[in-house]
Amino acid sequence: MVVAGIDVGSKMAKVVIMDADRNILSYVMARTGTDHRETSETVLGEALEKAGLKRDDLEKIVATGFGKISVPFADDEVTQVIAAGRGAYFVRPSARTVIEVGAEESRAISLDENGNVRDFALADKCAAGAGSFVDAMIRYLEVTPEEFGQLALQATRAIPMNAQCVVFAESEVVSLLHSNVPKAEISRAIHDAIADRVIAIARRLDIRDDVLLIGGLANDIGFIESMKRELGKEVYVPEDYPPELIPAIGAALSAVQGVR
């Protein structure tokens, strides 16, 4: 028995092919683009090709994410919270608090000892705690995503960023640049501000160890360090799979459960 999990986010679409023993046979990630249905078809086809399988080999497909309604060929859907929780527990069974920071949303999830969701909290509508805000800041600083994270580690002092709204935060960054504040210190200020907002969401829950950080921003070393500093504890990221792949893994696990 072989299944697929598909996570269609606002920025990236991810597919995981999994067998009955929960072995991941292949995965593919690609930009979502404007046609979610076409993208989901393409990434599924590429993942099947990597696994040496055909569409008819799939027994069940489960979709999740912002664009899950754009996957009409899916047999079932699962919420992003459930998918992220199951995927997180799969890659790190000791995880009890999962913090996901994606392109447009941030959320915190509390898991019990069996990986079930105990509680969760979501960000408000402002995007200043999400990856799209980081993309805008990278453009302002004229650096690559990798340079943006590394710059934060080179800062020699912490500069507070007061703006709570993404629009005003962008204006504040422009003002700092015009004041000749080093990019390293601006980068740290941005990372610290995002971490502060994300942790405020997580603190609506009981933050218990281990804390697992997933989503695209978990690739940013500057953000990881800000999260550790603001939380005052260790923060883990998935070791064997990209952090933005975790909800797709959870969707595939839901598919496996559904056909047993």
Per-residue pLDDT of the chain (260 residues; tens, 9 = 90+): 999 999 998 889 999 999 999 999 999 999 988 888 899 999 999 999 999 999 999 999 999 998 888 888 999 999 999 999 999 999 999 999 999 998 778 899 999 999 999 999 987 655 545 777 888 888 888 999 999 999 999 999 988 886 656 667 778 888 888 889 999 999 999 999 889 889 999 999 999 999 999 999 999 999 999 999 999 999 999 999 999 999 999 999 999 997 65
Whole-angstrom CA distances from 115 to 42, 127, 137, 212 are 31, 28, 35, 13
Helices (H), 102-158: 131-141, 145-153
Backbone angles phi, psi at 93, to 5 degrees: -60, -20
Distance (Å) of CA 71 to CA 61, 81, 150, 213, 216: 10, 18, 37, 27, 22
Enter the CATH code of domain 93-237: 3.30.420.40
Find out if CATH 3.30.420.40 is the number for domain 1-80+244-259. yes
Q: Distance between CA atoms of 131 and 135, rounded to whole angstroms? A: 6
In the prediction, which pLDDT does 5 show?
A: 97
Q: How far is CA 192 from the centre of its chain?
A: 18
Strands (E), the chain: 2-8, 12-19, 24-31, 58-64, 76-77, 97-101, 106-111, 117-122, 211-214
β-strand pairing of 24-31 with 106-111: unpaired
Kindly tell me the sign of the dihedral angle through the C-alpha atoms of 166, 168, 169, 170: positive
The 8-class DSSP code of residue 129 comes to G
pTM for the full model?
0.92
Distances (CA, A) of 110 to 56, 81, 227: 37, 10, 17
Portions of the chain given CATH number 3.30.420.40: 1-80+244-259, 93-237
